[in-house]
């Protein structure tokens, strides 16, 4: 590339040689841009591959019945509170909530 640039700066070069050198330089510049873009794409892909992926195996299925979902959520909250040594949530009778609550 430097050699072509130096030849283009020479006054004694024939016009057809200068034109050919200019085209070669343009092709080289385009190739370098494409290689840089390809390198960036590879770097981005590697970064995405290294990023932690969400664990779908730990997700519960979507509830079909919102009331059943609420009951299950309440059960899990009570189990969590009980496992931490608490006697339950304040203001409750320390049992599972009734279905109509």
CA–CA separation, 82 and 89 (whole Å): 9
pLDDT at 58: 65
pLDDT at 95: 52
| DSSP secondary structure, 14-40, as one string | -HHHHHHHHHHHHHHHHHHHHHHHHHH
Per-residue pLDDT of the chain in tens (101 residues, 90 and over written 9):
788 778 778 777 788 888 888 888 899 999 999 999 999 999 998 888 887 776 666 677 777 888 988 998 999 999 999 888 755 555 555 555 555 44
CA–CA separation, 20 and 4 (whole Å): 10
Domain boundaries, the chain: 2-50, 60-101
CA–CA separation, 60 and 76 (whole Å): 13
pLDDT at 101: 47
pLDDT at 93: 55
Specify the pTM: 0.43
């Amino acid at each position: 590339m430097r050699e072509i640039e130096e030849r283009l700066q020479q006054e004694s070069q024939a016009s057809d040689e200068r034109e050919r050198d200019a085209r070669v330089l343009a092709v080289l510049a385009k190739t370098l841009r494409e290689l840089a873009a390809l390198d960036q794409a590879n770097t981005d892909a590697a970064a995405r591959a290294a990023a932690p992926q969400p664990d779908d195996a730990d997700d519960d299925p979507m509830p079909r019945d919102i009331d059943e979902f609420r009951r299950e959520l309440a059960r899990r909250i009570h189990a969590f509170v009980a496992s931490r040594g608490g006697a339950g949530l304040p203001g409750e009778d320390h049992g599972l909530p009734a279905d109509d609550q």
